[in-house]
Amino acid sequence: MARRRALVIGGGVAGLAVAISLARRGASVTVAEREVGWSVADWGLCLPGRALRALATLGLVDACLWCGYGATQIAHCDPTGVVQDRVELPRTLGPDRPALVGLGRATLHQILRGEAERCGALLRDGLTATRIAQTPDGVGVHLSDGSTSHVDLVVGADGLSSTVKTLVGIDDQPGYTGQVAWRATVPRPDWATGPHTFAGAPHDAGLVPISPRHAFVYLTERDADPAAVPKDRLADRMRALMTGFAGRAAEARDAIGDSATVTRHPVRAGLVDRPWHRGRVVLVGDAAHALPPGLDVGAALAFEDAIVLADELAQHDLARPDDEESALEAFGARRLDRCRAAVETA
Ligand X SMILES: Cc1cc2nc3c(=O)[nH]c(=O)nc-3n(C[C@H](O)[C@H](O)[C@H](O)COP(=O)(O)OP(=O)(O)OC[C@H]3O[C@@H](n4cnc5c(N)ncnc54)[C@H](O)[C@@H]3O)c2cc1C
Spatial CA neighbour of 20 closest among 63, 68, 69: 63
Window contacting ligand X (CB under 6 A); options: 30-38, 85-93, 166-174, 228-236: 30-38
Q: How far is the CB of 276 from ligand X (least distance, A)?
A: 12
Residues numbered 294 to 313 that lie near ligand X (CB under 6 A) are 296-300, 302
Residue of 154, 181, 252, 339 interacting with ligand X (CB under 6 A): 181
CB-nearer residue toward ligand X: 126 or 321 = 126
Which sign, positive or negative, has the C-alpha torsion 211, 217, 218, 224? negative
Q: How far is the CB of 249 from ligand X (least distance, A)?
A: 19
CB-nearer residue toward ligand X: 46 or 170 = 46
Distance CA 236, CA 54 (A): 37
**33 belongs to the binding site for ligand X (CB under 6 A):** yes
**221 belongs to the binding site for ligand X (CB under 6 A):** no
Give the pairing of strands 129-135 and 73-77: unpaired
Q: How many residues bind ligand X (CB under 6 A)?
A: 34
Window contacting ligand X (CB under 6 A); options: 92-100, 285-293, 321-329, 332-340: 285-293
DSSP 195-239: -EEE--SS-EEEEEE-SSSEEEEEEEESS---S---GGGHHHHHH
- 80, HSE (Cβ side, Cα atoms, 13 Å): 2
Q: How far is the CB of 24 from ligand X (least distance, A)?
A: 18
Q: How far is the CB of 48 from ligand X (least distance, A)?
A: 8
Residues numbered 7 to 26 that lie near ligand X (CB under 6 A) are 9-15
**159 belongs to the binding site for ligand X (CB under 6 A):** yes
Alpha carbon separation from 217 to 189, 204, 271 (Å, rounded): 11, 11, 28
Window contacting ligand X (CB under 6 A); options: 82-90, 145-153, 283-291, 313-321: 283-291
Give the largest CA-CA distance in the chain: 65
**195 belongs to the binding site for ligand X (CB under 6 A):** no
Distance CA 46, CA 60 (A): 15
**194 belongs to the binding site for ligand X (CB under 6 A):** no
End-to-end alpha-carbon separation of the chain, Å? 43
Window contacting ligand X (CB under 6 A); options: 21-29, 55-63, 253-261, 280-288: 280-288
CB-nearer residue toward ligand X: 12 or 316 = 12
Element (H, E) at 289: strand 289-290
Distance CA 296, CA 275 (A): 25
- Please calculate the CA angle 21-22-28 and round it to the nearest 5 degrees: 145
Residues that bind ligand X (CB under 6 A): 9-15, 32-35, 43, 45-47, 51, 128, 157-159, 163, 181, 183, 265, 285-287, 293, 296-300, 302
